[in-house]
Amino acid sequence: MAGRKQSRGVCVFCSKEMTKGGLSRHLKSCTARQAANAAADAAGPGKPETIFHLQIQDRYTSDFWLHLEMRGSAPLRTLDRYLRTIWLECCGHLSRFSFGGWDGDEIAMSRQLGQAVEVGDELTHIYDFGTSSETLVKAVATRTGKPLTKHPITLMARNQIPEVTCQECGKPAAWLCIECIYEYDKPGWLCQKHGKRHPHDDYGELMPVVNSPRLGMCGYVGPADPPY
């Protein structure tokens, strides 16, 4: 969709703001992250285990991405639930993991992450087999240590909500009109003012702009927040 600038995000550990590429490089050497890992190893509960750094991106819209740490012992259904909560869940649709997308063999949700992938592998997650959202999950690195929290997944960085502008006045957009996109070949973005008096309703109500690649699909309206 038109009107977006290059996506940026913030490192959870040190609060530095960077582009997607910059954060990918930064997390490898972030001193605040290294200190957090060392503190968890020294005082955290449990035994050391293999923990994966996952780089996750919407297959078709590069503005939306995540950097997660996930325990290798956790099943894929844990990642499925996380992705549903932060990005995807609208109507309880089916989902699957595979190598190679639709044509690849499905990987059981009960499979542990560490049994399913090695560093360099990329899984495809598909949510909703009708109006599908496809997510690429790449294992970029591992570390051996204790998890940072009691949860199986830790959010390390996420894109900030894309900056989109109103098609009428150029101010920051708060709403999306699906009818504008499909019937009038317009971006569909509207600010608060122009959203209030926008006449289109053949495709339902305007949709709030939320930080998710599923925006505009199957009535998705968020909240697009991490589960923990």
| Residue 1: per-residue pLDDT | 43
Domain total of the chain? 2
182 and 152 in one domain? Answer: no
| Residue 45: per-residue pLDDT | 66
Quick one: 151 exposed, middle or buried, by C-beta within 10 A (0-12, 13-18, 19+)? middle
186 and 102 in one domain? Answer: no
Distance CA 220, CA 224 (A): 9
Least confident of 19-23, 44-48, 151-155, 200-204: 44-48
CATH number, domain of 136, equals 3.10.290.30
| Residue 6: per-residue pLDDT | 73
Which amino acid does the sequence have at 183? E
Q: Which of 6, 140, 194, 155 is nearest to 69 (CA)?
A: 155
Judged against a pLDDT cut of 60, whether residue 2 lies above it is answered with no
Q: What is the mean pLDDT of residues 32-37?
A: 98
Q: What is the mean pLDDT of residues 188-194?
A: 96
Q: Measured between alpha carbons, how far is residue 97 from residues 28, 75, 117, 135 in Å?
A: 26, 12, 11, 9
3-state secondary structure of 139: strand
126 and 203 in one domain? Answer: no
Cα torsion for 177, 179, 181, 182, to the nearest 10°? Answer: 160
186 and 128 in one domain? Answer: no
Judged against a pLDDT cut of 60, whether residue 217 lies above it is answered with yes
Band (pLDDT 50/70/90 cuts) for residue 61 is: confident
| Residue 46: per-residue pLDDT | 75
Judged against a pLDDT cut of 50, whether residue 113 lies above it is answered with yes
Judged against a pLDDT cut of 60, whether residue 4 lies above it is answered with no
Instruction: Kindly report, residue by residue over 72-90, the tens digit of the pLDDT.
Output: 999 999 999 999 999 999 9
Q: What is the mean pLDDT of residues 12-36?
A: 95
179 and 155 in one domain? Answer: no
3-state secondary structure of 193: helix
Judged against a pLDDT cut of 90, whether residue 136 lies above it is answered with yes
pTM recorded for the entire structure? 0.91
**Which H or E element spans position 145?**
strand 133-145
At 51, list the tokens: 């923990």
Range of the domain at 188: 175-208
Q: Is the peptide bond before 223 cis (omega within 30 degrees of 0)?
A: yes
Distance CA 224, CA 213 (A): 10
186 and 155 in one domain? Answer: no
Distance from the first to the final alpha carbon of the chain: 30
**Which H or E element spans position 80?**
helix 76-83
- From the CA atom positions of the chain, what is the Rg in Å? 19
124 and 201 in one domain? Answer: no
Other C-beta atoms lying within 10 Å of the C-beta of residue 209: 22
